[in-house]
Amino acid sequence: MRLFDLLGESLSSVLRESRRTAPMAAGIAWGVASVFVLVSVGRGFERSQRAELEALGDSFVLLRVNRSTKTRGDQRARGFVRLDGDDIEAIRLGAPSIERISPKANNWFIQAFRGDNIGRVTATGVDPEYADIVHVPLAGGRWIDHNDLEQELAVCVIGPGVREELFGDEPCVGKELRLIFSRRAGEDTIQRRLTVIGVLADEELAGDDVYTSHRRIVFLPFTTWERMSPNDFQFFVLRPRADADKDVALAEVRAVLGQRHGFAQDDPNTLVSYFDAFERKARIDGVFFGLETFLTAVGVLILLLGSVGVANVVLMSVSARTFEFGLRRALGCRRRWIYAQVFFEAATVCLVSGASGFLIGAGGIGLLGLVELPEGFAAPRPELEAAFLPGILLVIVSVGAAAWPAWRAAHMSPSLALRGGR
């Protein structure tokens, strides 16, 4: 028997049994489409979460010093801990596990003016190293440098939200804006003029989170902020030398600040993590590993049910064609040809229904791409990587559904088959 004759016989048998195979084939197609869509949606969500993390930076910690709960009898530790530039220098010298550190000294929600335009912004004093720790992509101009820091220059880098409110579509680099700093809950105000030297690109995906977003921030050199602002600060960012050094770096920071401010070094309340990129990255990895495992289990169950149905239909077909297979064996047809024919029949049902499922799934993904999804969900798109899981499961189903019926047909005794046929 030639290969083309074998394929023709297999296809004709499938068409003859179409009434029996159609419901099972529809179940497999629906299962493949469901898994394909679920995997694509999950991958889209994963892409958005990782892109959101990369937009901020994936290897830093944003920390705040807080009120101490364990003191060493030192009156300095009775209230909230406040930092200054000397504390940051002490951490640089006393915490060898830290690669980069910068203050993030904030004046929250102060007024900014430029002509008749007014907005609420956060004035933040940072060192130039801030850009090496946190992702601050520039759309124009330059970042703060060490000359700005040493000369205490009245310059700033503004976020995209500040640019929109104060400058609109006008060029802003080289232009001035004014910030209103307040003393003693607004009883005394100080107006400061700053020259814009850079503007950040609008690449954020996480909304306007007040602690991590750069949209409404005006960055100043830290020394300029110290000169202009009436406040000390509580926030700073750091990057350890390696991911595994994070806990060691935090312990070193706690030891240095405890020594300088009189609180116990084992007091966890004095150093609070407001954003931990390492922890968030690990959480994303864990969540999506669990999601992949869940989708794999769902896909296996759906397709296994379909394979059982296909195997049952093929077994019924083999039983109905007992005389045919016995006659072929009596006329000299080899077992491997009978095995191949039955195998091709089952595999054809699985593969055709699987291909239909992929087409249905791709159509569903295309429709989802037209729908406005919740924040944090990227629009799903059909991709080979998303099709890999249901594709592997479909191959397994095809082999599993075909193996037993094909073996039974190939090992049928010709004499018994002929008697059973009559």
Per-residue pLDDT tens over the stretch 372-408:
766 656 677 776 666 666 667 666 766 676 676 667 6
Q: What is the pTM of this model?
A: 0.70
Residue 63 corresponds to which tokens in the numbers above? 């920390």
Q: What is the largest CA-CA distance in the chain?
A: 108
Average pLDDT (250-259) is 90
Judged against a pLDDT cut of 90, whether residue 359 lies above it is answered with no
Domains of the chain, residue spans: 3-54+282-421, 61-277
Q: Residue 352: pLDDT band by 50, 70, 90 thresholds?
A: confident
146 has pLDDT over 90:
yes
Report the share of the chain in percent with pLDDT over 70: 73
Judge contact between 358 and 370, C-beta under 8 A. no
Would you place residue 159 in the very low, low, confident or very high pLDDT band (cuts 50, 70, 90)? Answer: very high
Better-predicted residue by pLDDT, 199 or 6: 199
Asked if residue 133 has pLDDT above 50, the reply is: yes
pLDDT for 415 beyond 50: yes
Q: Summarize the confidence of residues 232-238 as an average pLDDT.
A: 92
**pLDDT tops 50 at residue 422:** no
Instruction: Please tell me the least confidently modeled range out of 216-225, 248-257, 313-322, 342-351.
Output: 313-322
Q: How confident is the model at residue 87 (pLDDT cuts 50, 70, 90)?
A: very high
Exposure letters 344-368 (e unless 16+ CB within 10 A, then b): bbbbbbbbbbbebbbebbbebbeeb
Q: pLDDT value at position 377?
A: 64
Helix (H) or strand (E) holding 120: strand 117-126
Sheet holding 271-276, edge to edge: 98-103, 235-240, 61-65, 271-276
> How far is the CA of 243 from the CAs of 192, 246, 400, in angstroms?
40, 6, 45
Could you tell me which of 367, 366, 324 has the C-alpha nearest to residue 345?
A: 324
Residue predicted with more confidence, 171 or 419? 171
Mean pLDDT within 253-259: 89
182-226 tens-digit pLDDT = 755 445 677 889 999 999 998 876 555 667 889 999 999 999 999
Query: If you average pLDDT over residues 98-117, what whole number do you get?
Result: 91
Residue 76 reports pLDDT greater than 60: no
* String of DSSP letters for 341-395: HHHHHHHHHHHHHHHHHHHHHHHHHHHHHTS-PPTT-PPP---HHHHHHHHHHHH
- How far, in Å, CA of 361 to CA of 357, rounded? 6
Share of the chain above pLDDT 90, in %: 29
CA distances, 367 to each of 26, 111, 360, 362, 383 (Å): 21, 45, 11, 9, 15
Question: Pairing between strand 235-240 and 188-200?
Answer: unpaired
State how far the alpha carbon of 36 is from the alpha carbons of 43, 248, 358, 382, in Å. Answer: 11, 43, 7, 8
Token pair recorded at residue 340: 């191949």
Q: In this predicted structure, what is the pLDDT of residue 8?
A: 67
More confident residue, 13 or 93: 93
Q: Which residue has the higher pLDDT, 172 or 307?
A: 172
User: Of residues 185 and 39, which shows the higher confidence score?
Assistant: 39
Other CB atoms within 10 A of residue 5 CB: 11
Task: Collect contacts of 75-79 with beta carbons under 8 A, ≥24 apart.
Answer: 75/262, 76/261, 76/262, 77/261, 77/262, 77/263
Model confidence at 412, pLDDT cuts 50, 70, 90, reads low
Residue 108's alpha-carbon distances to 63, 245, 316, 345, in angstroms, are 16, 31, 75, 70
Q: Which of 8-17, 43-52, 224-233, 309-318 has the highest mean pLDDT?
A: 224-233
Better pLDDT: 128 or 385? 128
Mean of pLDDT over the chain = 80
**Has residue 176 got a pLDDT over 70?**
yes
Task: Kindly report which listed range (13-22, 252-261, 343-352, 411-420) carries the lowest average pLDDT score.
Answer: 411-420
Distance in Å from the first CA to the final CA of the chain = 25
CB of 100 within 8 A of CB of 62?
no
| CB neighbours of residue 147 within 10 Å | 11
Q: Which of 96-100, 111-115, 361-365 has the lowest mean pLDDT?
A: 361-365
Question: Does residue 419 have a pLDDT over 70?
Answer: no
